[in-house]
Every structure is written in C-alpha cells, then in structure tokens.
Amino acid sequence: MSIQGRISPAAATTAAPHRRRVLMASVAAQSIEFYDFLIYGTAASLILNSHFFPSVNPVAGVLASFATFAVGFAGRPAGAAIFGHFGDKIGRKPALLAALILMAVSSTLIGLLPTFSTIGVAAPILLVLLRICQGIAVGGQWGGSTLLSLEHAPAGRRGLFGAIPQMGVFVGMISGTLVFLLMTNVTTAQQFSSWGWRVPFLLTVVMFPVAYYIHRYIEETPEFRQVEAAAAEQGGKKRSSVVTVLRHPKQMLLVAFTYVSATISFYVIVTGMLDYATRDLHIGKGTMLTAVMLSMIAWALSTLLFAWLSDIIGRRAIFAGGVVLSGAWVFALFPLVETRSFPLILLGASVGQIGVGAMFGPGITMFNEMFPSGTRYSGASMGYQFANVIGGGLAPFIMVALLEGTHTTAAVSVYVAAASLVSVIAVSLIRIPKPDTASAAAEVSG
C-alpha cells in the first residue's frame, strides 16, 4: 500500500510564504537538540567531571559526568509522553513552545550553576535534575518541530517537509563545535575552566526569540485544526492520546524497532568510532573529528535526497535499503578506519552516514503517517525516543564493552548487523492506514 496519502490534504491550504517560515522555525527548534547533545557531551569530557564530581578519582569523575549525559536520554520518552499528550490535545504549536522554553531555561541554568567547590553536593544533584529537564524537553521538541513542518506540507512533498527539520541536527552539531572551538581559542586554560565553558550553555537563550517567533508568526497546523473541528462536531471529550497509544502499542513498538538501526549506526559512527580510533588506534583527535564532521555533510545531503525520493517511489523501500546498507557497510567501516588513512576513514564514515540518511530521510514522515492525527504527536514521538534511548544512550557503551570483551571490531559489526535485521523485520510489518479525519477525532474522543 502506498504511504504518501496518509497525511490529510488540509495542509494544501497553507500559503507558500508561511510554509517557508514554518520550515525555518522547525529547523531552528530542532537544531537545539543536537547543539545540546554536542556541548553537553563535550563539557562532560572536558570540565564537568572536575567541577561537579571532584571527590572521586579522575576516571570515575569522567564516568559520573557521562552518566549525567545518559540521564538526558532517559528523560526523552517521558518528554515524548508529556508533550505528546498536550500536542495531541491542545495543539502542536503550544506543545513545541513549552518544550523550547523548558530547554532554554534548563540549559541556561546549567551555564549559571555553581560548582561543587561553591555549594557542595547540591551542585551535582542540581546538574542531574537540569539534565533530566533537558531530556524531557528534547523528547517534546522532536514531535513538535517535525509535525509543524509535516502538517503544513503540500501534497506530494510530505517526505521532504518531514525531513527538512532534521537539518537542525547538522546545524546544531556544527554550531556546538564552533562555539567550543571559539571559546578554547579566545580564552586561557584558566579562563576556560573558570567561565569559558559556561558560554555555550548561556547561548541557549537564543531559544527565547525563536519561541517568540513561533508564537507570533507561525499558525497551528491545518490538519490539527481539521481534527479539532471534527471532534467539536461530535461533541466528545478528548481522552489522553498517550493512554490510547499505550493500550494499542503495536505501532509505537514498530517505530522503535524500525528506527533502532538508524540510531545505533549513527552513534557508532559519531561517538563509538571516534573513541575507538583515538583510544585504541591512536589516531589524532583532529583527524577523526574532521572526518566525522565532514561525514555529516553526506548525512545531510542523503537525508534530503532520500526524503525527496520517498515522495516519488515510497518510503518503506528506501528505508529498508538504508537498513541493509548500514548493516552490511559496518563490516567495511572498521577495516577502513584501521588503515589510518584519512581519505579511507572519511570514505568509511561517509558511506555509513549515507545509509543512515536513507533511514532518516523517509523515516520521519513514515513514522508520523503510521498514526492518525489525534495520537500522532504521542505515538511517533514515544516510539522515536525509545529507539534513541536504545541506540543513542546504550550503543556507545555496548560498543566499548564488546571491544573490551572480545578485542575485535567484528563483534561490534555483528551487533550493528543484528540491529539492522531487527529493523528490516519491523519495517516489513508496517502498515499505513488510510487517512480518515473523522475516525482520527473519534479515536481520542469519549
């Protein structure tokens, strides 16, 4: 069954200038997720261990600071449920605004947080709490920014419009890298330790004007308004979309298992491979960071290309092709890295990212098309974030454990390939129901 017709044609009434504003706002909102991912991960390895966990040995301090990084992933499903509930009940726009404000406040407060030497054990406790708030905010941002774009898309371009907000991943990672490079270059080591590390977090205040822009200039999505009108005509009271999804979890679980290959492959390339190459192969950090960042260009271009193609030839076939490519290419990835040749390292990372892009591109729209409008924010977001917990939160740790336990990258390759097999099976089970606004409204009405 073709999946292009799942989203209601109500979005066809949106004017082109407004669509452009929506796309810009969606990219800006999504970029903060990976800006946060990069600056917190960088700060955790450079500074947070000594400033917030100084009473333990250096290795344990690094592990403790990275544990707070993982806590952010754990908060994502909760954020997907909380903001998904309100996004399906009162609108995509207000839910996204609330998530953006929570992220801006949490990240800014981390930049202002006193260290262990000032307030003692309260410092790491507050850091963990703020990190949880960040994770909750990220869990709500993805669904809001994606649906804001997707449900404003013209007919025949939903795959592309669903993927464009994901360019925020590229923007966020590049921005985070540049900010940290700038601060390390314009400050002394003492200045960076004292206040320079705080600047990247404080710059998150730019989310406040982004939130105001969305509030002032972006309209609620046409499809949500259509479902609201249908629900009002029926006179029913909306029940929780989260409860509805959890009572019938098949679609949500299919999203999680389908997407798990993309998340594991992505984080093996951008974090696991970086650690393996620098720690075990003694390749320079600058070499690996350059290769990873350049491979993100291949990821961005392939994401848009395959999203565009998915509007023409269908989403499931392209997604499945990306899964197969990722599962097979990982057996070439590590041998290429082990050559210690920059061009071959870049080739390995870039082809791997093309496989991920073939999943990211059509996957975003496909996951949302699996749910009716009344449960879409909750269902797609929770499935997506569960996959991120398994892939983003656990994959780097599992990779290190496999390398330490087996002393061979073949075990990691088998791990990625096994995840790809799970995703191939899951995507083959996906069925996209036909759009029916009235039934979508009825599903969340009492």
Secondary structure (H, E, C), 311-345: HHHCHHHHHHHHHHHHHHHHHHHHHHHCCCCHHHH
Given a cut of 60, whether residue 366 has pLDDT beyond it is yes
Mean pLDDT across the chain: 84
Q: Strand, helix or coil at 5? A: coil
Please tell me the pTM assigned to this model.
0.83
Binned at pLDDT 50, 70 and 90, residue 379 comes out as very high
Q: 225: which residues sit within 8 A by CB, 6+ positions away?
A: 10
Length of the chain in residues, anyone? 446
Given a cut of 60, whether residue 436 has pLDDT beyond it is no
Residue 439: CB atoms within 10 Å = 14
- What does the pLDDT look like over 59-83, one tens digit per residue? 555 556 566 667 777 888 999 999 9
Please check whether residue 283 is in contact with residue 277, taking contact to mean a CB–CB distance below 8 angstroms: yes
Given a cut of 80, whether residue 13 has pLDDT beyond it is no
CA 273 centroid distance within chain: 19
25-30 average pLDDT score: 86
Higher pLDDT, 208 or 348: 348
Report the run of H or E that residue 215 belongs to, with start and end. Answer: helix 207-217
Given a cut of 80, whether residue 3 has pLDDT beyond it is no
When mean pLDDT is compared over 19-23, 233-237, 254-258, 386-390, the highest value belongs to 254-258
445 forms beta bridges with 238
pLDDT at residue 46, rounded to an integer: 67
pLDDT at residue 437, rounded to an integer: 43
Q: Which sign does the torsion angle of CA 62, 271, 366, 302 carry? A: positive
pLDDT at residue 442, rounded to an integer: 43
Structure token digits, residue 35: 């800006």
Using CA atoms, how far apart are residues 153 and 308, in angstroms rounded to an integer? 13
Given a cut of 80, whether residue 252 has pLDDT beyond it is yes
Nearest residue to 279 via CA among 105, 396, 107, 416: 396
Binned at pLDDT 50, 70 and 90, residue 5 comes out as very low
Domains, the chain, in order of start with CATH, read: 9-443 (1.20.1250.20)
Higher pLDDT, 289 or 248: 248
Using CA atoms, how far apart are residues 415 and 393, in angstroms rounded to an integer? 15
Q: 198: which residues sit within 8 A by CB, 6+ positions away?
A: 111, 112
238 forms beta bridges with 445
Count CA within 13 A, CB hemisphere, residue 427: 28
Given a cut of 60, whether residue 95 has pLDDT beyond it is yes
pLDDT at residue 259, rounded to an integer: 95
